[in-house]
Amino acid sequence: MRAIGNATIEKVEEICGAGFKPGRMFPKFNQEAFDAQKHWMVPEHVEAGSDRLVGSVHTWIVRTPRHTILIDTCLGNHKDRHNPGWNKLNTPFMERLNACGCSPESVDFVMCTHLHVDHVGWNTKLENGRWVPTFPNAKYLFAKREYAHWEKEHKTLGAETNGGSFDDSVLPVVEAGKAVMIDTDYQADPLLTIKDYPGHTPGSIAINLKDGGKSACFSGDIMHHPIQVYHPDWSSQFCSDQDLSAKSRRKLLEDCVESNALLCPAHFPGANAGYIKRRGESFAIDWDVRK
């Protein structure tokens, strides 16, 4: 657990492991540039021998003096997914959440940085054959622009939208009256603010926490892997707009330098957060070793 003023943040992991090779993940991949950083990335962030990128899927619990907030809700159990490693999961994620003193009933807000399949899964759970909101007392906050994009996609793609996750992990929340569509001026808590960083998806946001002279930035998938701190122009193959994603990533890193915010991405494993420092025309990360 980490303290940000009078607030605390805690990571709860669902799954973690090696996935894509970097040449597949990043269209602008350069082997020489990757090798120059590999000495510190192996084994926590890059699998030894294979060079496959190691990634975590996790939720952040943010506790302020007023509220308990979950940022991104991973993949979820029992859900049909095209990715074999994500299909029909049965993980002890909820037990891990409870072990942190975060019962489903205690959550006030669920905030999704965007609506991809691995960020919305635990929004709902299977109950008597139906998908129902997992956190009964929470408001679920979706960025208006992000939701509008996928709502439009849904009219064409139907149940295939976002690999099925729009139907089983987003719409049931809306139909239950639990969703609030927000702009960046919305404040769920006095310590939280929201900022647009489009490109990975049309409505990607970061969530900023600030108190007592300290800051943290929950960046979702504005970056997937720490190599992107050193090469912010390397957008992932999953970014809907590669160039805009790169611009947003650089802006996010600049903002983290300016505010000295602890960068807390959605998929960094191991030492999963750190402080961003300028390094010439690029950046470096000073890891916060607490996990």
Question: Given a cut of 80, is residue 291 above it in pLDDT?
Answer: no
**Count of beta carbons in the 10 Å neighbourhood of residue 260:** 12
In this predicted structure, the answer to whether residue 145 has a pLDDT above a threshold of 90 is yes
The model's confidence at residue 281, banded by pLDDT at 50, 70 and 90, is: confident
Superfamily of domain 2-288: Ribonuclease Z/Hydroxyacylglutathione hydrolase-like (3.60.15.10)
Mean pLDDT of the chain: 96
Overall average pLDDT of the 139-162 stretch: 96
Query: Mean of the pLDDT values across residues 158-178?
Result: 96
- Model confidence at 231, pLDDT cuts 50, 70, 90, reads very high
Domain definitions of the chain by residue range: 2-288
- Is 126 a residue whose pLDDT tops 80? yes
Which token pair is 44?
């926590």
Q: Cα separation of 158 and 27, whole Å? A: 29
Containing 279, the helix (H) or strand (E) segment is strand 273-279
**Mean pLDDT across 149-165:** 95
Write down the pLDDT at residue 271. Answer: 79
The reported pTM is 0.95
Q: For residue 235, is pLDDT > 60?
A: yes
What gap in Å lies between CA 220 and CA 208, rounded to an integer? 11
Q: For 11-47, write each residue's pLDDT tens digit.
A: 999 999 999 999 999 999 999 999 999 999 999 999 9
What mean pLDDT is predicted for residues 86-115? 97
Give 187-196 pLDDT, tens digit per residue.
999 999 999 9
